Amino acid sequence: MKKVLILIFVLVIILIFSNEITIYTYDSFVSGIGQKVIPIFEKMYGCKVNLLSFGDAGAVLSRLILEKQEPKADVVIGLDQALLEKAIDYDILEKYTPININLLKYKELYNEYGTPYDYGSIAIVYNKEVVKNPPKSFEDLLKPEYKGKIVVEDPRTSSTGLSFLLWTIAVYKEKYLDFWKKFKNNILSITPGWDEAFEMLESGEADIMVSYATDGAYSFYYYNSIKYVPIILSEGAFVQVEYASIIKNTKNKELAKRFLEFLLMDFFQKEVPLNQWMFPVTNVELPEAFKYVPEIDKILEIDASIYEDLERILKEWAKVVIGG
């Protein structure tokens, strides 16, 4: 009986809704998890999904802003907390709460403009062959023994770098610049993006970088060894949450809503760990590799008003660190 009902439900949906939906997202979604889950969604609703990517999530948001008058996308995947705030400011998103939102493990991830689909923590990653006494806290990062050993991504050009800056704000509140004034003496270089920082670690130039908590799991999964070990500093974790939202004035609203609900289903959530290298937001089982992800004991929160103030923060940061 239940199966028949589902079948009828699906048939009705196919008949009612238009059968094409355009989704904007970042590149690694298309080449990764997208390949696994999109065909399932297409089959479920008998529709065609145009999954398009234009670089990183920041580039995607720029594009959405430029297309605001005549949007081409129905759904955007991949805005984090900071980008979501910007998108709300630009008034390009539509409010929606999925009917299966109760699957969400952490209620605090909820946002009326975006459906959270994964989250992960920024971490400090060190080369365990060289760093015998790794830092455990932000205060440790200031120790003279790490002088010239740490590489950080530029928050003006990299989302990883921006998250790290926000992490320091979450820890030190309005005193974050005092931390940076001391910390800059230990920084070897500030790179435009994650790739270049990783190259520094690989070439042996730097021993410590800002990266993600799942790095160890990733390297165990792909290379069967862990040379670069992630740590979450003892002050608490800063978590990056990724959201999917419906674009305002979309013509395919119903299908877009179904897609957001789909993101919370097991079909999608169970693919999150090994494709996105993030944590699922519902109760699905974690793969073995994830035992190499450090435990998150405490999640640090920052005030949403910080996101409104990014311009001032980045300028202050640049003044203190770059000097210009």
Between CA 234 and CA 237 the distance in angstroms is 8
Residue 205 corresponds to which tokens in the numbers above? 């130039």
CB of 196 to another protein, least distance (A): 5
Residue 189 corresponds to which tokens in the numbers above? 């270089």
Between CA 46 and CA 19 the distance in angstroms is 7
CB of 301 to another protein, least distance (A): 21
List beta partners, residue 245. Answer: 76
- Which residues are at the interface with another protein (CB under 8 A)? 26-28, 30-32, 35, 52-56, 58-59, 61-63, 65-67, 70, 86, 90, 154-157, 162, 184, 187-192, 195-196, 198-200, 202-205, 218-219, 222-223, 225, 227, 277, 310-311, 314-315, 318, 321-324
Q: Which is nearer to another protein, 22 or 282 (CB)?
A: 22
CB 86 within 8 A of CB 307: yes
Q: Which is nearer to another protein, 50 or 283 (CB)?
A: 50
Q: Which is nearer to another protein, 63 or 248 (CB)?
A: 63
CB of 100 to another protein, least distance (A): 28
Residue 139: closest CA among 182, 77, 102, 107: 182
CB of 9 to another protein, least distance (A): 31
Give start and end residues of each alpha helix (H) in the chain. Answer: 2-16, 27-31, 33-45, 57-66, 81-89, 138-141, 159-172, 176-183, 194-202, 215-223, 253-263, 266-269, 272-276, 305-308, 310-321
Q: Which is nearer to another protein, 25 or 282 (CB)?
A: 25
Q: Which is nearer to another protein, 188 or 213 (CB)?
A: 188
CB of 51 to another protein, least distance (A): 9
